[in-house]
């Protein structure tokens, strides 16, 4: 029974037709290549959230402008690649110390532990007992790299610097929260008596303060981004690289740079509000540091470098496939529906209906397409939906004329006359008999229409008439042209978007050309 059903299923008209179509299509290598290209771009569009590495927004600055792709470092092996140089993302293994006045007088602070088995953060806890003396610097030293008090706790994280050049810029990101106990939590001035510090400590033992926090603090995690100055970078990295002028060897004994994060009381703790808090305060202050990252910028960044605004070109290129495919497919689908309906009505009914519809088509064909699209896009607004409508308004005319010519040839055939003789309505004849017979010639026209829609969107984006917040290949070309991409040597922001537009257009062109050869009876006979 099952064999009988299987045989009848394979003998059905649709199965035989589809099998014959695919057998014929596989003979055309250019068409198969077009399908592979289309599948590649479809995977790129669907998988964009996982393939892209950063925010694709054109204005999402993540690095200096016009940085070269990292694979170009092969021509400059000693250059600095822009990336995260804090190799170990976990903080629990960071050693916590108690400082006692100089780099030679510190010890492990047993009371300042992580407080949890969670390796994603470290707790710095500074405790105080009433009347416990503290070693303050009196008077405070202006612009000192050390805190006002010589008694504090800190932890270290080390990064290794192997490039032989200093970074162009460095950004340190720290996320932390503060909690207090005892008098520090009950007294309204308790939160003003301590600060969180960040130091660069080179292998020669030099400390350079690059950040100190300011109240108010909160138990809710807060993030701070510290952009180091040139002097900070020179102090931290200068001893690890050869002198760029004299070529003298590095002064630091190793290629290691330590990032120190410390918690210390301030001078306000020594004397605040007419009293001596150190005599009466009992309690603790805990800084929970959940993130510490060091991002160094050099001459190279990411798979495709950066744009004129410092955004990730790779992420924009990936997400640009979504815009091109969405606009190309939807605009072509909308224009095809309109063109098919107009062509069916004009070709089947003829007479005055045909005359009026064809004059509208002729009028739209006479008007230059790009200027009209520019006017409509500027009038409707630069949203994706409006761009689809603008392209569809001018994209249905060719389809309508093609369908009209085919319908005029079909409506006088015997099967149409037979349907009229048995009383079939015009609507039934059009959509049940005529449309299926003109559909094969339509497929090739649809695929070629997608090419036109993609190129139209790219042209409008290049002219700045699309949504500037949406990443697209045309927008990338416009930004590169407006900011002098080629003149700045940033050829990657021009070549790769243009290559994507060309490749996607060729994919649909190859498929459309093959469909035309397979489905068009005249071409198939040749």
Q: pLDDT value at position 419? A: 81
Q: φ and ψ at 426, to 5 degrees?
A: -60, -40
Checking if the pLDDT of 182 tops 70, the result is yes
177 Cβ contact list (under 8 Å, min separation 6): 217, 218, 219, 220, 221, 222, 287, 288, 290
Which pLDDT band, with edges at 50, 70 and 90, does 496 fall under?
very high
pLDDT digits (tens, 9 = 90+) for 166-181: 898 899 999 999 888 8
Rounded distance between C-alpha atoms, residue 480 and residue 474, angstroms = 10
Give me the CATH topology for the region 24-57+306-525. MetI-like fold (1.10.3720)
Q: pLDDT value at position 50? A: 93
Checking if the pLDDT of 99 tops 80, the result is no
In angstroms, what is the C-alpha Rg of the chain?
A: 35
Question: Which secondary-structure segment (H or E) carries 211?
Answer: strand 207-212
Q: pLDDT value at position 40? A: 94
Domain ranges (residues) in the chain:
24-57+306-525, 83-297
Instruction: State yes or no: cis peptide before 139, omega within 30 of 0.
Output: yes
Instruction: Judge contact between 267 and 140, C-beta under 8 A.
Output: yes
More confident position, 251 or 427:
427
3-class secondary structure, 162: coil
Least confident range from 6-10, 18-22, 156-160, 204-208: namely 6-10
Dihedral sign for Cα 44, 62, 178, 92, please.
positive
Q: Enumerate the H helices of 350-396 as residue ranges.
A: 351-366, 369-380, 384-395
Rounded distance between C-alpha atoms, residue 462 and residue 308, angstroms = 15
More confident position, 119 or 197:
197
Q: Which residue, 364, 331, 275, 362, is CA-closest to 458?
A: 331
Instruction: Judge contact between 378 and 465, C-beta under 8 A.
Output: yes
Which pLDDT band, with edges at 50, 70 and 90, does 108 fall under?
very low
Q: φ and ψ at 255, to 5 degrees?
A: -95, 35
Q: Are strands 96-100 and 106-108 parallel, antiparallel or unpaired?
A: antiparallel
Q: pLDDT value at position 100? A: 58
Q: What is the mean pLDDT of residues 16-36?
A: 82
Which pLDDT band, with edges at 50, 70 and 90, does 443 fall under?
confident
Checking if the pLDDT of 273 tops 80, the result is no
Q: What is the mean pLDDT of residues 185-213?
A: 84
Q: pLDDT value at position 114? A: 41
Least confident range from 201-210, 353-362, 442-451: namely 442-451
Q: pLDDT value at position 398? A: 86
Checking if the pLDDT of 297 tops 60, the result is yes
Tell me whether residue 12 is exposed, middle or buried, using C-beta atoms within 10 angstroms of its C-beta: 0 to 12, 13 to 18, 19 or more. exposed
List the structure tokens of 37: 């290209």
Instruction: State yes or no: cis peptide before 214, omega within 30 of 0.
Output: no
Which pLDDT band, with edges at 50, 70 and 90, does 512 fall under?
confident
More confident position, 351 or 135:
351
Least confident range from 40-44, 95-99, 158-162: namely 95-99
Return the CATH number of the domain spanning residue range 83-297.
Answer: 2.60.120.260
List the structure tokens of 484: 């002098």
Q: Which residue, 219, 213, 215, 212, is CA-closest to 190?
A: 215
Rounded distance between C-alpha atoms, residue 334 and residue 171, angstroms = 49
Tell me whether residue 104 is exposed, middle or buried, using C-beta atoms within 10 angstroms of its C-beta: 0 to 12, 13 to 18, 19 or more. exposed
More confident position, 56 or 437:
56
The rounded Cα 156 to chain-centroid distance in angstroms is: 33
pLDDT digits (tens, 9 = 90+) for 383-408: 888 888 988 888 888 888 888 888 88
Provide, rounded to the nearest whole percent, the portion of the chain with pLDDT above 70. 86
Place of tokens 């689809």: 388
Q: What is the mean pLDDT of residues 291-316?
A: 90
User: For the chain, what is the mean pLDDT?
Assistant: 81
How far is it between the farthest Cα atoms of the chain?
112
């Amino acid at each position: 029974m099952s064999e009988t059903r299987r045989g009848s299923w394979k003998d059905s008209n649709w199965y035989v037709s589809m099998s014959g179509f695919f057998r014929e299509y596989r003979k055309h290598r250019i068409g198969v290549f077009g399908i592979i290209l289309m599948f590649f771009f479809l995977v790129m569009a669907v998988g964009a959230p996982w393939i892209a590495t950063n925010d694709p927004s054109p204005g999402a600055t993540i690095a200096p402008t016009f940085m070269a792709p990292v694979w170009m470092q092969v021509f400059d092996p000693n250059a600095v690649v822009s990336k995260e140089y804090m190799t170990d993302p976990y903080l629990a293994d960071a050693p916590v110390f108690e400082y006692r006045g100089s780099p030679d007088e510190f010890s492990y602070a047993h009371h300042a532990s992580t407080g949890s088995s969670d390796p994603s953060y470290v707790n710095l806890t500074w405790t105080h007992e009433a009347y416990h003396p503290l070693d303050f610097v009196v008077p405070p030293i202006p612009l000192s790299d050390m805190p006002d008090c010589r008694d504090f706790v800190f932890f270290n994280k080390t990064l290794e610097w192997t490039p032989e050049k200093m970074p162009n810029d460095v950004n340190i990101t720290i996320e932390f929260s503060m909690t207090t106990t005892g008098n520090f939590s009950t007294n309204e001035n308790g939160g003003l008596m301590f600060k969180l510090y960040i130091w660069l400590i080179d292998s020669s033992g030099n400390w350079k303060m690059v950040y100190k926090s300011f109240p108010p603090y909160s138990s809710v995690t807060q993030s701070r981004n510290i952009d180091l100055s040139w002097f900070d970078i020179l102090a931290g990295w200068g001893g690890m690289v050869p002198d760029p002028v004299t070529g003298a060897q590095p002064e630091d004994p190793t290629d290691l740079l330590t990032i120190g994060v410390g918690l210390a009381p301030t001078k306000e703790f020594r004397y605040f509000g007419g009293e001596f808090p150190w005599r009466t305060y009992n309690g603790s202050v805990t800084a929970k540091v959940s993130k510490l990252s060091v991002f160094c910028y050099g001459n190279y960044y990411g798979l495709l470098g950066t744009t004129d605004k410092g955004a990730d070109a790779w992420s924009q290129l990936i997400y640009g496939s979504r815009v091109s495919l969405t606009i190309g497919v939807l605009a072509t689908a909308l224009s095809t529906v309109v063109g098919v309906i107009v062509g069916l009505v004009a070709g089947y009914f003829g007479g005055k209906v045909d005359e009026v519809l064809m004059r509208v088509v002729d009028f739209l064909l006479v008007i230059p397409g790009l200027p009209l699209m520019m006017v409509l896009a500027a009038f409707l607004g630069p949203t994706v939906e409006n761009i689809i409508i603008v392209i569809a308004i001018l994209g249905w005319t060719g389809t309508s004329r093609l369908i009209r010519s085919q319908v005029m040839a079909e409506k006088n055939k015997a099967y149409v006359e037979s349907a009229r003789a048995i009383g079939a309505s015009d609507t039934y004849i059009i959509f049940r008999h005529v449309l299926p017979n003109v559909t094969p010639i339509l497929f090739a026209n649809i695929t070629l229409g997608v090419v036109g829609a993609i190129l139209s969107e790219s042209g409008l984006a290049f002219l700045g008439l699309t949504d500037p917040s949406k990443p697209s290949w045309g927008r990338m070309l416009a930004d590169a042209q407006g900011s002098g991409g080629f003149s700045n040597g940033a050829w990657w922001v021009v070549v790769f978007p243009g290559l994507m537009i060309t490749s996607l257009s060729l994919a649909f062109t190859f498929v459309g050309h093959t469909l035309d050869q397979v489905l068009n009876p005249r071409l198939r006979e040749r």
